Amino acid sequence: MKNLKIISNIKLKKSSKFLILLLASILVGTANAAIFYSLTMQPQVIVSTPVIKFDHADDEPAGSTVDDAWCSLTAKSYPNATLTYEQAVNLINTDSVNAHLFRLTYISITPANGSANVGNWTSIKFLVYSSTGDYVFSLNFTVSGNNWVLAPASGQTAYYSIPASTSWSIRLETLSPAAATEGEVCRIQITVDVQ
């Protein structure tokens, strides 16, 4: 109401007053309209093969499951003897044109730190080798007392570039101390992060 009194006190022609009122109502209407709107999104999700995928390898542990985007390795560990799976699983860059970056990231391990059962292992190592057999990088779990020690300490490797149409292998090494209890199980979850 105050706005109307101010406008009526201004000595303007009726058409000017009408124009000012019209502009004011448009301004108020626009301000209110800005609050009420909606966005539309129409995602399209296509099933496809991962650019970098898992593949069976020559030394894949018996009882393992290997799919394109997921694998479960059923490895063993011997007391006082390093057990090596030279090619436990392969990673393949399916892109025939471009190289792609990937890294290994630690997610979880059981038994957890602080458990006496951790002492049933000395080390569990995941070493990545190029198609030419050259060592590239690793994610390692070693034991100190009742705790796992990760290397790298962050539990995450740097990104490494795998060339187009190339297969790299992951070597798995396990070792348990002489006093390890037979039948104990260690479960490790690792992701392969791809850029």
Closest to 163 measured CA to CA, from 104, 90, 101: 101
Q: Which among 112, 98, 124, 93 has a CA at the least distance from the CA of 192? A: 93
What pTM, to 2 d.p., does this model score? 0.78
- If one counts the domains in the chain, the total is 2
Cα angle for residues 98, 55, 166 (degrees, 5° grid) = 30
10 and 106 inside one domain: no
CATH number reported for the structural domain that contains residue 116 in this entry: 2.60.120
What's the CA gap between 93 and 184, in Å, rounded?
35
Domain identity same for 58 and 135 = yes
In this structure, are residues 109 and 139 in contact, taking their beta carbons and an 8 Å threshold? no
| Residues 79 and 21 placed together within one structural domain of the fold | no
Q: Please indicate, yes or no, if residue 39 is contained in any of the structural domains.
A: no
Task: Write the pLDDT tens digit of every residue in 148-173.
Answer: 999 999 999 999 999 999 999 999 99
Which residues constitute the domain of residue 107? 52-194
Rounded to whole angstroms, how far apart are CA atoms 107 and 90? Answer: 20
In a shared domain, residues 101 and 141: yes
pLDDT in tens, 11-66: 556 667 777 777 777 766 655 555 667 889 999 999 988 999 999 999 999 999 99
104 shares a domain with 24:
no
**Which pLDDT belongs to residue 24?**
74
